[in-house]
Amino acid sequence: MAKKDYYEVLGVNRDASDEEIKKAYRKLAMKHHPDRNPDNPKSEEHFKEAKEAYETLSDAQKRAAYDQYGHAASEAGMGAGGFGGGAGGFDFGDIFGDIFGGGRGRSNVHRGADLRYNLEITLEQAARGTETQIRVPTMAECETCHGSGAKPGTSPTTCTTCGGHGQVRMQQGFFSIQQTCPRCHGSGKAIASPCGACQGAGRIKKHKTLAVKIPVGVDNDDRIRLSGEGEHGVNGGPAGDLYVVIHISPHAVFQRDHNDLHCEMPISFSTAALGGEIEIPTLDGSARIKIPTETQSGKIFRLRGKGIKGVRSSTYGDLHCHVVVETPINLTERQKELLREFEAINEKDSARHNPRAKSWMNKVKEFFG
């Protein structure tokens, strides 16, 4: 099962400060601590996820490695400088290549990591489409050393341990094992005087502003791909992609269900009993619907084509208006008197005027024998 993104687990942005990360972890730890939820195994799982995320993101080196390589950083024993030496660089492919002839090397050119950006928009923006700007943290080529990692005026030299290959071979009996060079960490270069701006990494953390076009009808968790807007590649490798994930904020009136919209509309019991006409809201303004006599609470009126046109749909959804009969409050004495009079008249032929109540009572009697 794929691990969750550590930033999502803690509920923070990728550019969150150490204090924000610490605060988010404390809040989750208090909420999901096993001692406070002894009968909830899921709370223990959430607690472990939060602890694992915090242990990585609170450590500067581990966080830098995670930002660059994701969960592969911890699985392969990676640090802030790339793949570590020793068993962490073990490559079965290299072993079998040596056994069957024609051993292969490993390219030092790497594609930049893909990035994710969570964008919250309103229901109206989702229905009509919009264009907005986002500010994204990313790893970009260092402008001081132009990605070399060396101090201006100096250049990286060929690593003497691996001869510039980035890999070293170790003979263990029958097997010839190829590992990442422990000195240059696979780059094939040695930097005697690291760049002061990027500390020899060749890349620095920056923010960039991008324009994002939101298509008409976009829904929750839809992704918009911005090609080449992810992290900068390593050693001339291509940049990764940026995925903008849509989250629609709750609406005060409408609830969305795919391309349909739902809303509740309170009406007075006199309108429900006698019928009438009411005005209801839509995304395009307002509309009027006729309430037939003797309308019951919970009845749904459907307005065709007043919903949302989905991204992959050629037609609009519907608007479903759920009628709720409202009980009046703060009654005057005269109103109470009229209601008592109404109730007295109603009781004379209750079965006729309240058929649902009579049916329900009959079911209750059957249930109790």
Residue 11, phi then psi, degrees to nearest 5? 75, 35
Instruction: Work out the average pLDDT over 278-303.
Output: 89
The reported pLDDT for the residue numbered 316 is: 92
Residue with the bigger pLDDT between 206 and 217: it is: 217
pLDDT tens string 14-36: 888 888 898 898 888 888 887 77
pLDDT tens string 233-283: 766 678 888 999 999 999 999 999 999 999 999 988 888 888 899 899 898
What does the block give as tokens for 48?
A: 């472990």
Instruction: Work out the average pLDDT over 332-361.
Output: 75
When mean pLDDT is compared across 106-115, 125-134, 240-249, the lowest value belongs to: 106-115
What does the block give as tokens for 352?
A: 């006729």
Instruction: Work out the average pLDDT over 161-187.
Output: 74
The reported pLDDT for the residue numbered 140 is: 75
Is 104 a residue whose pLDDT tops 50? no
The reported pLDDT for the residue numbered 335 is: 87
The reported pLDDT for the residue numbered 88 is: 36
Residue with the bigger pLDDT between 7 and 359: it is: 7
Please report which confidence band the pLDDT of residue 304 belongs to, taking 50, 70 and 90 as the band edges: very high
DSSP-H helix ranges across 60-104: 60-69, 72-75, 92-99
Please report which confidence band the pLDDT of residue 215 belongs to, taking 50, 70 and 90 as the band edges: very high
Is 77 a residue whose pLDDT tops 70? no
pLDDT tens string 343-353: 888 777 666 66
The reported pLDDT for the residue numbered 1 is: 54
Ordered by where they begin, the domains of the chain are 1-58 (1.10.287.110), 59-248 (2.60.260.20), 255-367 (2.60.260.20)
Among residues 77, 73, 55, which one has the least CA distance to residue 9?
Answer: 55
Distance from the Cα of residue 361 to its chain's centroid? 49
* Residue 27 burial (CB count, 10 A): 13
Name the residue type at position 189: K
Task: Please check whether residue 232 is in contact with residue 140, taking contact to mean a CB–CB distance below 8 angstroms.
Answer: yes
The reported pLDDT for the residue numbered 70 is: 76
- SS3 category, 310: coil
Residue 35, phi then psi, degrees to nearest 5? -65, -25
What does the block give as tokens for 175?
A: 């097997």
The reported pLDDT for the residue numbered 81 is: 39
